[in-house]
Amino acid sequence: MGAGLTPPRAIDQRFPGPGTSGNVGSLWWSWLQGPAGARRRCRVGAVRRLAMISLHTSPLDQPGTGDAGGMNVYVLEVAKRLARRGVEVDVFTRATSSALEPVVVAYDGVTVRHIHAGPFEGLTKHELPAQLCVFAREVLRTEAAQPVGHYDVVHSHYWLSGQVGALARDRWGVPLVHSMHTMAKVKNAALADGDTPEPPARVIGEEQVVEAADVLVANTALEAQQLLDLYDADPARVEVVHPGVDLEVFRPVPRAEARAALGLPVDADVVLFAGRIQPLKGPDVLLRAVAELVAREPGRRGRLVVPVVGGPSGTGLDKPQALADLAAELGIADLVRFVPPVGQAELARWYAAATLVAVPSFNESFGLVAAEAQAAGSPVVAAAVGGLTTVVRDGHSGLLVPGHGAEEWAAALGAVLADPALRDRLAVGALEQARHFSWDATAEATLAVYERARGRLREAS
C-alpha cells in the first residue's frame, strides 16, 4: 500500500524534529529515534478491536450545536453497528468537562474514552492543534496497557484525528483508515457570506493525513473525486462508503399527529431548517427566501411557519443573535420559531411535521439532514452542492437549487408549497430514496474496507 509503514513524507518535512510544539512532530521524532521493534505487524484474521479517533467532538455530544453535527451521528451509529458485528470499538475523544467520566460504556461493545488534553472549556477548534501531542500520548498510553497487537485498525475522523491516527498506525503496525468529513479546500472554494476561510495550517494538516492514510473513506463519489483533484490522493487508496440513516427512528408518522405533539397548526405550511446555525449551513438563505416568498404572495404569511431547529456553531458563535436579528430585519420574525437542538426521536417528529425541509448549505460532504428528512417522508429543497446531489434525487425526492439567491430559493419553495400533487409525489420519492441509505449497510461496507486495508498492509510488510 502506498504509505506502507514509513512515516509520511509531508509530516517528516514540515515537523522536522525536537523543539516542535503544538503538533505531533515531536512525537514523530521520538518514534523515529525509538527501537524498530516498537512497530508491530498486522494480525491475520477478522477485525476484533477498533480504535476510532474523534478528537474535536465527542459522539456523545448533542448534535446541532457547537462542533457537534453529522460527524457525531456518523461515529456513534457506525460504532454501534460494528459492535453488533462482534467488533470492540474504543472511541477516543477530548474531554471538555471535568464532570465527564474517563471511560464511558456508550453501548455494548462501544467504549468512549475521554482524553484530558488542554483546558476543558474555552478552546476553539482552531486552537486544538496545540493539544495534539498530549492527546496522542494518552492514546498511545491506553494501548500500551494492553497486550501487544490490541487494536487491528485505526479509523480517524476529521484531519485533527488523522494526525493522531497516523502516529498510532505506525506505532502499532495497523492500517489507518481516515474519513475527512469536510475539507478545507472545498470549503474555501465556496465560502458563505460572513464566513471565514479555513487557515493554511489545516490545509497542510489535511494534505499530510491524505498522504499518511492507508485508506481514505469518502462519503460520495464527488468527495472521492475532490480528494483526487484537490489533494492528489492515490486512487487505489480511496473508497466510497455512503453514510446512513436510522430507519427505525426516522420514519413517516401521520403529519397531524406530529404537529399536534409539537404545537404546530395542522393546516400550516411548515418550512423546516434543522442543523447548526452558522454561515456554512445557510440558514440566512432560507430566511431571505421566505421574505421574498411573502413579498411575492402576501397571502401566504398567515399560513407559513419556519422552525429553525439547532444552535449556534462555528463562526455563528460570534453573533448568536444574528439570525434572529435578520428575521426581524426582514419582517418575518413572527413566522420564525427558534428551537434548541433536540434528540433524534424529537428531530424525527419535526421532520414528519414539515411540509418540506430546506437544506441551503454552501457545502455538505453528505447531507445527513436531507437523508433523515427523506426517511421521514418529507420532500427536501436543497442546494445543489457536495453530497446533497447524491442524497437528494432532483425532481424525485426533492428539488435541487443551483444557487443561493433569494429569488431562486423562493421560487423552489413556492413550487412545492403551491402544488399538493408535487408534494405528494416528492414525499413518495423521498421514502424510496431514503431506502438507499442505512447505517447497517454503512457498517458492512466499512468493515469490508478494514479487512481490505489489513490485507494490503500484510502484503506490503
Which residue positions form the known binding site? 56, 62-63, 67-72, 125, 158, 182, 202, 276, 281, 342, 351, 354, 364, 372
Known binding-site residues for UDP-N-acetyl-alpha-D-glucosamine equal 62-63, 70, 276, 281, 342, 364, 372
Q: Which three cell numbers stand for residue 329?
A: 430585519
Q: Are strands 176-179 and 380-383 parallel, antiparallel or unpaired?
A: unpaired
Burial of 144 (0-12, 13-18, 19+ CB in 10 A): exposed
Q: Are strands 110-115 and 103-107 parallel, antiparallel or unpaired?
A: antiparallel
Which of left, alpha, beta for 242 (phi over 0: left; psi -120 to 50: alpha)? beta
Known binding-site residues for Mg(2+) equal 351, 354
Known binding-site residues for 1D-myo-inositol 3-phosphate equal 56, 67-72, 125, 158, 182, 202
Please, where are the H alpha helices in 190-339?
200-212, 221-231, 255-262, 283-296, 322-330
| Under 8 Å between Cβ of 173 and 182 | no
Give the SS3 label for residue 50. strand
Q: What is the spatial distance between Cα 75 and Cα 156, in angstroms, rounded to a whole number?
A: 10
Cβ neighbours of residue 229 closer than 8 Å, sequence gap 6 or more? none
* Strand intervals (E) in 241-397: 269-274, 304-309, 336-339, 356-359, 380-383
Q: What is the spatial distance between Cα 56 and Cα 33, in angstroms, rounded to a whole number?
A: 29
C-alpha 243, offset from chain centre: 9
Q: What is the spatial distance between Cα 112 and Cα 372, in angstroms, rounded to a whole number?
A: 25
Q: What is the spatial distance between Cα 271 and Cα 308, in angstroms, rounded to a whole number?
A: 9
Cβ neighbours of residue 363 closer than 8 Å, sequence gap 6 or more? 182, 186, 187, 190, 280, 385, 386
